[in-house]
Structure 1
Amino acid sequence: MDNVQFLQKLLRINSSNPPGNEHEVTKAFIERCKMNDMPYKVTALGNNRSNFEVTLNGTGDKHLMFCGHMDTVSPGETEWGYPPFSGEIIGDKIFGRGASDMKSGLAAMFLAVESIYLEKATPLPTITFLATAGEEVDSCGARAFLEENENRIIDALVIGEPTNEKIVVGHKGALWLEITTYGKTAHGSMPDHGINAVDHMVYVINELTSLKLSWTIAKEPLGSSSLAVTMIEGGIQTNVIPDRCTIRVDIRTVPPQAHEKLIKELNKKLDKLVENNQLYEFKLIKVLDRPSIITSSTSALIQCALAIKGETDDQCFGVSYYTDGAVLNPRSEIPTLIYGPGDEKLAHQPNESVNIDAFLRSIEFYKKLALTFNEKMNWQKNQLQGGTK
């Protein structure tokens, strides 16, 4: 089975999350490892879900991790021009759910590690390939890996999310909030006898609009923070004053914005609305909390990637979506590169695809990165120590 056929095999597996069923993808990796007598590890997570891991022990003292997720979002209700789990090749592209986000990056990283194993190339850092479950919902796989590997030292992390082959050094944080306003039901013809939770939510949304302006900051290369009300639900029926209204808020942050500080400020604003009788009662809960991550372009990992591409520091980028890096590296202590063959603009879209040549180039990129990382780390360490070797 060649590299393109292997990607097609992964794309033909429905690992839409929910429910995930990532273990079906794990089985494809196991089959490939057995074919080449390559060591692997499976961590069962229950309900046909798992993490898959390959570790190659290196000759150096550094540890490089390649990481990607096996789950995808669902194909959605929009009709596709090609079956979403066909892995169909049309022209220079492979189509299918996960083609860009991110089974192409996942397959490319695995195939790079497999190639290194088969060639018995040295010298090398210790290399781990980690395929996780659940990134599209709760990052359950990344969390399970952390719980199992508290004392494991990772010197650099590469995440194969779609970047269109751009070198990405960080991503924005994501904070999702659910806010509920409460009231009291009454007959629609006698609104003064009730407390309208929908009316009260208008005040909440106005506060969010105001805070959006005061919260917004920009940090290159990540861009600007943002806030959007993305869901609203409330009311029982037309002739009943609603006693409940709920919204979801999607906040994207950049350093140095702290999520807990934002929540504290918002709670204070809503408490003030209660004091002013513009709000009867409310509840604010955190639905998702992923910090932003950022790596200096001067780090050995990023310099290594730039050298492979023949690019300079000013060709480092940021992305607005979050990755498992927010769980594995929440304080940006581990140099992290986000790099993949997929196009982020096609992620979660119908007729998702990846360019075949980009996929094949990424295999070589990841392989070169692993083969030159130790040398770059040692050179940079030597420079810092003032050596001349």
Structure 2
Amino acid sequence: MDRQEKIRILQDVIQIQSPNGNEEIVALYYKNLLEAYGIDARIIPYSDGRANLVAEIHGQDQGKILAVSGHMDVVDAGNADLWDFPPYAAEIHDGLIYGRGTTDMKAGLTALIIAMIELKASDEPFKGTVRLLATVGEEVGMMRAEQLTQMGFTQDITGMLIAEPTKPFYHTKHKGSIQYQVIAHGRAAHSSTPDKGINAILLINEFINKTNAKMAAATKLAYNDTLGATLNVFTMIAGGNQINSVPEATILSGNARTVPEVGNDVVIGIFNEAIDSINAKGQGSLALNILQNNQFADGANDSDLVASILAVDPDAENRGLSAATDGAIFTDVDNDFDFVIYGPGDMADAHTINEAIGVDEYLEFIARYGAIYRSYLNE
């Protein structure tokens, strides 16, 4: 496969619009690509228009099983008029491919797949198995990684490489993630007689103040040397339906990023303590709705997979990752395997306007992944 073909494949995938949906078309594209090179691939449906993809290549002898993974969904492109180039055109300018999902993470996933194809096509002897796990819905909920985990695809592996953007680092650990809503129920009234109502926005405001104080106290007591501190960010609020009425309902959304020392149970406990103290007053009520509750991922710093990565990228540094990945789900099994996140692109460019990936960096990672496969499986 020549340089231009590799670039064209990535452009094709970027041009498939898959913002938190429509991933089945991406999966079918990859399936056809793999099968054109003699690699069987299996579509695993999740819901209408959404499907995971699993494929394997096998060496001449049994050995390690290396799972390689990336997600096929992207976040919404937002206002396309704010982009310098159309977000799904995959145009190349000054050595960069522009488009939603280039960095997060179609470049990394495509590089993993092309490296599999090239290893298969080379007829070079190797041991063991490379298993592709391409997922849907990582950006919202990670439920599709859970589907593959429940089907046993990580129960027998010896290592997992996730191609999220990490430049210039690699990550063996990342924070947990809690996505949640707090729903406030008050009582509507005319704004000229607010004492007749219960203001749901003020209930949420009280929750925010109580939670911030409790979170600050908890995080002062514990800090993870690799991952840092547990964080909680309130990200969306919606309340009221008319400017001259006391709002009877408000929904607050948030995302917490957790470390082992102040973990998911501790943070959810803080939320519930604040809610209980407010509800005890009998003036309106709050309810907690947990949308996603993923634990942190914790891989070994000195694994064989780390050694294989350092062999091709000796200057890479191991850093903790604040963002969550499908690894939080995949590693939640009774199987202790090597785990590393390593891929092209900078996480700071993910979800941004004018998201882009360097063409040469993408191509370099195809070669790096091929070398990692050979090193890890044959050592």
Tell me the TM-score normalised to structure 2 length: 0.92
1:336 aligns with 2:339: yes
Match of 1:140 in 2: 143
1:266 aligns with 2:271: yes
The residue type paired with residue 56 of structure 1 is I
Match of 1:86 in 2: 89
1:319 aligns with 2:324: no
The residue type paired with residue 196 of structure 2 is H
Partner-residue secondary structure (3-state), 1:223: coil
- Segment of structure 1 superposing worse, 213-222 or 224-233: 213-222
1:71 aligns with 2:76: no
- The runs of 5 or more residues in structure 1 that have no matched partner are 377-389
Partners of 1:281 and 1:310 in 2: CA distance: 55
1:104-148 per-position Cα deviation (integer Å, ceiling 9, x unaligned): 001100011111101122232211012111111122331221232
- Segment of structure 1 superposing worse, 365-374 or 104-113: 365-374
Of all paired residues, the percent bearing the same amino acid is: 29
Structure 1 residues 320, 151: CA separation in 2 closer, same or farther (over 3 Å shift)?
A: closer
Partners of 1:201 and 1:27 in 2: CA distance: 45
Match of 1:33 in 2: 34
Partners of 2:133 and 2:345 in 1: CA distance: 18
Partners of 2:205 and 2:50 in 1: CA distance: 41
- The runs of 5 or more residues in structure 2 that have no matched partner are none
Partners of 2:182 and 2:351 in 1: CA distance: 26
Shift of 1:179: 0.9
1:161 aligns with 2:164: yes
Match of 1:310 in 2: 314
The residue type paired with residue 119 of structure 1 is S
Runs ≥4 in structure 1, deviation > 6 angstroms? none
Partners of 1:41 and 1:66 in 2: CA distance: 15
1:221 aligns with 2:222: no
Partners of 2:130 and 2:140 in 1: CA distance: 27
Partners of 1:375 and 1:33 in 2: CA distance: 23
Does the 8 Å CA contact 1:165/1:358 hold for their aligned counterparts?
no
Partners of 2:151 and 2:339 in 1: CA distance: 21
Match of 1:361 in 2: 364
Partners of 2:224 and 2:327 in 1: CA distance: 19
Partner-residue secondary structure (3-state), 2:34: helix
Match of 1:282 in 2: 286
Structure 1 residues 262, 34: CA separation in 2 closer, same or farther (over 3 Å shift)?
A: closer
Partners of 2:65 and 2:367 in 1: CA distance: 19
Match of 1:116 in 2: 119
Tell me the TM-score normalised to structure 1 length: 0.90
Partners of 1:170 and 1:152 in 2: CA distance: 19
Partners of 1:97 and 1:84 in 2: CA distance: 5
The residue type paired with residue 114 of structure 1 is I
- Segment of structure 1 superposing worse, 167-176 or 257-266: 257-266
Structure 1 residues 109, 90: CA separation in 2 closer, same or farther (over 3 Å shift)?
A: same
Partners of 1:14 and 1:56 in 2: CA distance: 28
Match of 1:384 in 2: none
Partners of 1:193 and 1:48 in 2: CA distance: 49
Match of 1:379 in 2: none
